[in-house]
Chain A
Amino acid sequence: MVDGATAGLFLDAAGMKALGAAIAIAVTGYASAIAEKDIGTAAIGAMAENEGLFGKGLILTVIPETIVIFGLVVALLINA
C-alpha cells in the first residue's frame, strides 16, 4: 500500500501542473522542430533553384510553428 506521504510526493497538484505544462511545451516544440526541419530543407533546396521562392519558403517553413504556440497556450491554461 502506498502511504499518504508518498502519494502526496507523486501527485502533488502544483507539481503535476508544472510537469503537464512542461510536457505540453516540450512535445509540441519537438513536433514543430521535426516538421520545420523537413519543410526547411525542401525550402532551401527550392531556393537554390530559384531565389524568388524565399518568401513562399519562409511561409511554408513557419507554418508548423503554430503547433508550439498551441502547446504554449495549453501550458498557460494549465497554470492559470
Chain B
Amino acid sequence: MSRPKEMTRAVIVGHKSILKETIDALHDTNLFHIEDFVEDESGFKISKPFKNAEEVSKKLVKIRSIANYLGIESKKPVVQKTDSILRELDSKLNELDRTISAKTESISQLENELKDLESQKREILPYLSIDLDFEYYRGYESLRVFAGTVKSSLEESQISSITQAYELYFDPQSKAVVLFVAKNDAGKVYEVLQGLGFKEFRVPERGGVPSELLRFIEQREAEVTRRIESLKGEIESLKTRYADFILASDEVLTIESQKAELPLRIATSENAFIIDGWAPTEDYDKLVSVVNSATKGKAYITSLEIHEEEEENAPVEYNNSKVVAPMQEIMDLYSRPKYTEIDPSSAIFITFPLIYGLILGDIGYAMILGGLALTIKKLVKSDAVKPLMNILIYCEISAAFFGVLYGEFLGFALASLHTEHGVVPGLIPGWETITLFEGIGGEAFTFPVHRSHMVMTMIVVSIVVGLLHLNFGYLLGFSNVARNHGMKHAILEKGSWMIIELGAILAAAGYLVVGGSALMYVGAIVLVLGIVMLAMGEGIAGVVELPSLMGNTLSYARIIAVGLSSIYIAGTVNDIAFGMIWADHSQIGFAALAAILVFMLGHSLNSVLSIIAPGLHALRLQYVEFFGKFYQGGGRKFNPFGYIRKYTEE
C-alpha cells in the first residue's frame, strides 16, 4: 500500500539580481511546487511581473486567437528549437496576422455583396413573368403605374369597364399585375384592384429587363461564391502551413509568460526575494544543485521542518508503479488522497477488477470488450483515454478469469449440468459439471459455478466478499488513524467496528449452529464491548452509524444481482435468436438472417451494458462502502512550476 510521494518544504532566498536565473532554473527542472505568497504584516510584498510580461501575453493572445480562428488542434509534435522560434516569432506572427485579417476582411466584404445580390434578386423575381424593362415604370406625367400581385384572378374587362386608356400585363400563374392607366382613372382602378387583394411591389431602381438582370445577378453570385471558397481554401492552406509554428510558438510563449509572471506569486523586499514551496524529497538534492549552478551559489536554498498542520496541506503526488497508475484516474474522480493518508490506488487495482469480474464473469463479453479496449487504446492517442482503457483491460482480464470459473460464454453455459428436471447441455461437449459440496438452501456448489442455479449460495458468497472488502477498509483506516493520532484512537475508532462484527458473528453462530449456547452470550458481550469502544472513539455519531454496517454488507448482494441480470438478458437474446433459427427447419431463409441480426444486436446491447452496469456497481462498492471505512481525500495536486514541452526544445 503506497503513500503519496514524500515532500520536502524548501525556501529559496536571494538577491533580486539573480531572480531571473533562479526562475529559469526552477522552471527547467519542473520539480518545485510554489506556494503563492499572500501579503501580510511581515513587510514583504509581491513583486511586479518582468518587463517582457505584457508583450509576451499580447503575443500569446494573438497567437491563440489565430489558432482558434484557424481551428488548430494539437497533433503529432514536430519538435523545433526554441531560439529559432523566438527569432522568427515577430515577423511570422505579424505576417500571419496581416494575411489572415486581409483575407477575412475580403471574405466579409464578399459575403455582404452576396447578401446584397440576394436582396436584389428577391426584388426582381416577381417581375420575371412580365418581361418589361424597369425604365418603362417611371417618368410619366399623366400615367399611373400599378405593380404588384392580386389574390384572385384579374379579368381585363374589369379594367376596360372603367377606362379604355390602359395597358395591362397580367400573369395568371403568379398573379403578378402591371397596369398603366391614365392618372384621372387611377382612383377607380385602385379601388377595383384593392377589391382583388392588391399588394403593391417596390419597383427596382435600376433599369433593364428582369430576365436579363436575373441572369446577370446569378452570374455575379456564382463568381462571388467562388471567390469566397478560394479565400477559405487559402486560409485552410495557411492552417496546414503554419500549424507547427503556431503550436510551437504557443508553447514558447506560454513558458515565457509563466516565467515572467512568477514574481506576482512570491515574496520580495526592496532587494531580495523568497520563493516558498514543496519538492519531492527524492528530487530535493537535484533541485539544490540545479539552483546553485544556475546562480553560481548566490541563492540560498534550505529545507524546512514540516509542522503537523502544514503536513495536511502538502501537495500530493501519486507514488505508484506504472501498472497501478491508471487507477489514479478512479482516485481523482473521487478526490485526491491527502498527504497524510494512504493512497488506496493499489488496493483498488485489485478490488475493482475483482468485483467487476465477479459481476460480469463471461468469457465472451470479456473478449469483446477487451478487444474493443485494445483497439481504442491503439487508435486513440489521447492521454485522457489511455488510462481508462487500461482499467477496462484489467477488468476484462478479471471477467475472463471468472468467466472460466462460471463456465459462461455470451450467456451460454459451457459445461452441461444435471438437475432434477433433466440435463441442461453445455456448449463444450464432454465438459461435465462437478458437484464440489453442499451449498446453502439445498443447492449444490459446483464447478463451473452455475450462478443462476445457486442464487442463495452466491448471495452468501457475495456478502462474504463484501465483509472481506469492508474489513480491508477498516484495516487501512486503522493504519491511517494509528499513524496520525496514535494506536489508542485507531483501536477505538476502527478496531471497534471489527470487534462489533466479530461479536455479531459469534452470537449468530451460537444461535444458528449450536442452538443458543454460551457462545451466543459470549458473542453478545463482545458486541456490547465493541459498541462501548465505538462510543468512546467516535461518540454518539459512531453508534448512530451502526445500522449502516448491515446496509453496507447487504449492499454487496448486488454482485450476484447485477450478474444475474446480465445472464438473463444474454439468455433471452440467445433464446429468441435460436428459437427463430429452429423455427426455420434448417433452411437458410429470412428467419435465419433475422435471427443473426437479433443475436448481433442483442449481444452488442448487452456488451455496452456490461461496461456500464458492472462498472458502475463495482465503482460504487469502492467509493461508498470501501472508501467510507477509511478514506477522506481532498488533497491538493502537486503542480510543479514548469512545463512539459511537446513541440519545442532548448
A residues near B296, Cβ cutoff 8 Å: none
- Are A72 and B555 in contact (CB-based, < 8 A)? no
B residues near A76, Cβ cutoff 8 Å: 455-456, 459
Q: Pick the contact of A59 from B551, B554, B558, B624 — CB < 8 Å?
A: B624
- Are A73 and B624 in contact (CB-based, < 8 A)? no
**Which residues in chain A, 39-80, are within 8 Å of chain B measured between CB atoms?**
54-56, 58-59, 62-63, 65-66, 69-70, 72-73, 76, 80
Q: Pick the contact of B554 from A54, A62, A69 — CB < 8 Å?
A: A69
A residues near B582, Cβ cutoff 8 Å: none
- Are B334 and A66 in contact (CB-based, < 8 A)? no
B residues near A54, Cβ cutoff 8 Å: 333
Which of B124-132, B469-477, B486-494, B615-623 faces chain A?
B615-623
A residues near B558, Cβ cutoff 8 Å: 65, 69
- Are A72 and B333 in contact (CB-based, < 8 A)? no
The complex places the Cα of A62 from the Cα of B620 at a distance, in Å, of: 7
Shortest distance between the CB of B524 and any CB in chain A (Å): 25
B residues near A55, Cβ cutoff 8 Å: 332-335, 623
Is B461 in the interface zone, CB < 8 Å from A? no
**Which residues in chain B, 542-566, are within 8 Å of chain A measured between CB atoms?**
551, 554-555, 557-558, 561
The complex places the Cα of A56 from the Cα of B334 at a distance, in Å, of: 6
Shortest distance between the CB of A68 and any CB in chain B (Å): 9
Is B441 in the interface zone, CB < 8 Å from A? yes
- Are A58 and B551 in contact (CB-based, < 8 A)? no
- Are B623 and A73 in contact (CB-based, < 8 A)? no
Q: Is the interface of A mostly helix, strand, loop or mixed?
A: helix
The complex places the Cα of A25 from the Cα of B78 at a distance, in Å, of: 59
Closest B residue to A60 by CB, please name it. B624
- Are A80 and B456 in contact (CB-based, < 8 A)? yes
Interface size for chain A: under 10, 10 to 19, 20 to 34, or 35 or more residues? 10 to 19
- Are A59 and B456 in contact (CB-based, < 8 A)? no
A residues near B456, Cβ cutoff 8 Å: 76, 80
Known: A58-B619, A62-B624. A73 touches B334 (CB 8 A): no
Closest B residue to A79 by CB, please name it. B455
The complex places the Cα of A65 from the Cα of B551 at a distance, in Å, of: 11
Known: A59-B620, A63-B624. A73 touches B554 (CB 8 A): yes
The complex places the Cα of A55 from the Cα of B333 at a distance, in Å, of: 5
Shortest distance between the CB of B438 and any CB in chain A (Å): 15
Shortest distance between the CB of A6 and any CB in chain B (Å): 31
Q: Pick the contact of B620 from A65, A70, A72 — CB < 8 Å?
A: A65
Shortest distance between the CB of B465 and any CB in chain A (Å): 14
Known: A62-B620, A65-B620. A72 touches B441 (CB 8 A): no
Shortest distance between the CB of A36 and any CB in chain B (Å): 12
The complex places the Cα of A63 from the Cα of B561 at a distance, in Å, of: 16
B residues near A62, Cβ cutoff 8 Å: 616-617, 620, 624
- Are B554 and A70 in contact (CB-based, < 8 A)? yes
B residues near A72, Cβ cutoff 8 Å: 557, 561
Known: A65-B558, A70-B554. A59 touches B334 (CB 8 A): yes
Known: A56-B334, A59-B334, A62-B616. A69 touches B455 (CB 8 A): no
A residues near B557, Cβ cutoff 8 Å: 69, 72-73
- Are A73 and B551 in contact (CB-based, < 8 A)? no
A residues near B333, Cβ cutoff 8 Å: 54-55, 58
Closest A residue to B456 by CB, please name it. A80
The complex places the Cα of A76 from the Cα of B557 at a distance, in Å, of: 11
**Which residues in chain B, 183-204, are within 8 Å of chain A measured between CB atoms?**
none
A residues near B332, Cβ cutoff 8 Å: 55
A residues near B620, Cβ cutoff 8 Å: 58-59, 62, 65
The complex places the Cα of A49 from the Cα of B246 at a distance, in Å, of: 32
The complex places the Cα of A61 from the Cα of B619 at a distance, in Å, of: 12
The complex places the Cα of A58 from the Cα of B616 at a distance, in Å, of: 9
Closest A residue to B616 by CB, please name it. A62
- Are A66 and B616 in contact (CB-based, < 8 A)? no
The complex places the Cα of A66 from the Cα of B332 at a distance, in Å, of: 24
The complex places the Cα of A69 from the Cα of B466 at a distance, in Å, of: 14
**Which residues in chain A, 4-55, are within 8 Å of chain B measured between CB atoms?**
54-55
A residues near B455, Cβ cutoff 8 Å: 76, 80
The complex places the Cα of A65 from the Cα of B617 at a distance, in Å, of: 9
Q: Pick the contact of A80 from B335, B441, B555, B617 — CB < 8 Å?
A: B441
Kindly supply a per-residue 1/0 record for chain B positions 423-441, scoring 1 wherever the CB is within 8 Å of any chain A CB and 0 otherwise. 0000000000000000001
B residues near A56, Cβ cutoff 8 Å: 334-335
Shortest distance between the CB of A76 and any CB in chain B (Å): 6
B residues near A66, Cβ cutoff 8 Å: 551, 554-555
The complex places the Cα of A56 from the Cα of B627 at a distance, in Å, of: 12
The complex places the Cα of A73 from the Cα of B561 at a distance, in Å, of: 9
- Are B459 and A69 in contact (CB-based, < 8 A)? no
The complex places the Cα of A47 from the Cα of B135 at a distance, in Å, of: 66
Shortest distance between the CB of A71 and any CB in chain B (Å): 10
- Are A69 and B623 in contact (CB-based, < 8 A)? no
The complex places the Cα of A63 from the Cα of B623 at a distance, in Å, of: 10
The complex places the Cα of A65 from the Cα of B616 at a distance, in Å, of: 11
B residues near A73, Cβ cutoff 8 Å: 459, 554, 557, 561
The complex places the Cα of A69 from the Cα of B558 at a distance, in Å, of: 6
The complex places the Cα of A72 from the Cα of B555 at a distance, in Å, of: 11
Known: A55-B333, A80-B456. A69 touches B555 (CB 8 A): yes
The complex places the Cα of A54 from the Cα of B22 at a distance, in Å, of: 39
The complex places the Cα of A58 from the Cα of B619 at a distance, in Å, of: 10
The complex places the Cα of A17 from the Cα of B502 at a distance, in Å, of: 34
The complex places the Cα of A54 from the Cα of B456 at a distance, in Å, of: 35
Shortest distance between the CB of B459 and any CB in chain A (Å): 7
B residues near A63, Cβ cutoff 8 Å: 624
The complex places the Cα of A28 from the Cα of B380 at a distance, in Å, of: 42
The complex places the Cα of A76 from the Cα of B551 at a distance, in Å, of: 17
Residues of B bordering A, CB below 8 Å: 332-335, 441, 455-456, 459, 551, 554-555, 557-558, 561, 616-617, 619-620, 623-624
Further contacts, 12 of them, CB under 8 A, given A56-B335, A58-B333: A58-B623, A59-B620, A59-B623, A59-B624, A62-B620, A62-B624, A65-B558, A66-B554, A69-B555, A69-B561, A72-B557, A73-B561
* Contact sample, A vs B, 25 pairs, CB 8 Å cutoff: A54-B333, A55-B332, A55-B334, A55-B335, A55-B623, A56-B335, A58-B616, A58-B619, A59-B623, A59-B624, A62-B617, A62-B620, A62-B624, A65-B617, A69-B554, A69-B555, A69-B557, A69-B558, A69-B561, A70-B554, A72-B557, A73-B459, A73-B557, A76-B459, A80-B455
3 smallest CB-CB distances across A and B, nearest first, come from A55-B333, A55-B334, A59-B623
